[in-house]
């Protein structure tokens, strides 16, 4: 008889505990999106309508909660990339995922911050980064093979352009939270093949006043740090 110890499968949460965990995660996602990563577990408990002790029973520190939310969000991004790859039009599939990625970064402060601040090994451990990178490579390759992508554009450029749009979004957010859409369209127009239709610049540029106010917000934020 083999006396080796066999690890027990993880115990399923009770229904009420599972509901509380989902409420906590949903509340954290909303708070991270609106306020970034500086929120506390007390903030999450208050927003979720549960006691602080309930949050700490599920997550011993904020990083554990961030990892859980981060994992879910990355999986959603990977699903969106897979869906975009299946689009009947290779160029529109690329546009669809580029818009998704830019919108996600521009409207979710926490996701934007965690993508910059988390160690690459954390995303690798969660097993999602490789899936997203493979999907983006496939999307770009398919668009290039269809003659829709400008010569020389590589999959790595996709991630750099998303981050460029996010930097504009971060700068403009206090005064014009929709400004990023204009620069997303400009970026897409820069990587499209000549035969592909241009993206309309339906969002107006930042005004001189908005630029000055955005610079003021940026300076104030820097002083607070």
Residues 52 and 76 in one domain: no
For residue 206, count other CB atoms closer than 10 A to its CB.
19
pLDDT in tens, 92-120: 999 999 999 999 988 888 877 777 665 55
Q: Per the domain annotation, does 6 fall within a domain?
A: no
| Confidence class for position 153, pLDDT limits 50, 70, 90 | very high
Residues 99 and 55 in one domain: no
What value does the mean pLDDT take over residues 39-47? 90
Query: What value does the CA radius of gyration of the chain take, rounded to a whole number of Å?
Result: 21
Cα 158 to Cα 130: distance, rounded to the nearest angstrom: 15
Q: Per the domain annotation, does 7 fall within a domain?
A: no
User: pTM to 2 decimals?
Assistant: 0.80
Q: Per the domain annotation, does 172 fall within a domain?
A: yes
Does residue 137 register a pLDDT over 90? yes
In DSSP terms, 149 is beta-bridged to 192
What value does the mean pLDDT take over residues 178-182? 95
Q: Per the domain annotation, does 213 fall within a domain?
A: yes
Phi, psi of 175 (to 5 degrees): -120, -25
Residues 130 and 181 in one domain: yes
Domain limits for position 38: 14-60
Residues 121 and 36 in one domain: no
- How many domains does the chain contain in total? 2
Q: Per the domain annotation, does 3 fall within a domain?
A: no
3-state helix, strand, coil split of the chain in percent (to 5) is 70, 0, 30
Residues 107 and 150 in one domain: yes
Residues 202 and 144 in one domain: yes
Looking at residue 63, what is its pLDDT? 86
What value does the mean pLDDT take over residues 171-176? 92
Residues 121 and 30 in one domain: no
Residues 43 and 138 in one domain: no
**Averaged pLDDT of the chain:** 85
Q: Identify whether the C-beta of residue 196 lies closer than 8 Å to the C-beta of residue 158.
A: no
What value does the mean pLDDT take over residues 122-145? 82
Q: Per the domain annotation, does 140 fall within a domain?
A: yes
What value does the mean pLDDT take over residues 51-78? 86
Q: Per the domain annotation, does 22 fall within a domain?
A: yes
């Amino acid at each position: 008889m083999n006396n080796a110890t066999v690890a027990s499968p993880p115990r399923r949460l009770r229904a009420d505990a599972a509901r509380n965990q989902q409420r906590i995660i949903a509340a954290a996602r909303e708070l991270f999106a609106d306020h970034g990563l500086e929120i506390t577990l007390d903030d999450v408990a208050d927003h979720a309508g549960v006691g602080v002790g309930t949050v700490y029973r599920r997550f011993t520190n904020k990083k554990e909660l961030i990892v859980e939310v981060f994992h879910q969000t990355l999986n959603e991004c990977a699903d969106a990339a897979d869906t975009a790859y299946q689009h009947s039009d290779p160029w529109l599939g690329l546009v669809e995922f580029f818009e998704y990625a830019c919108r996600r970064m521009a409207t979710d402060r926490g996701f934007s911050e965690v993508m910059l601040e988390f160690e690459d090994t954390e995303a690798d451990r969660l097993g999602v980064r490789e899936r997203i990178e493979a999907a983006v490579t496939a999307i770009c390759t398919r668009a290039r093979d269809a003659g829709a992508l400008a010569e020389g554009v590589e999959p790595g450029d996709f991630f750099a352009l998303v981050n460029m749009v996010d930097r504009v979004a971060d700068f403009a957010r206090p005064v014009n939270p929709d400004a990023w859409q204009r620069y997303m369209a400009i970026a897409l127009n820069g990587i499209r093949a000549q035969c592909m239709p241009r993206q309309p610049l339906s969002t107006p540029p930042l005004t001189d006043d908005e630029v000055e106010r955005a610079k003021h917000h940026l300076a104030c934020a820097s002083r607070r740090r």
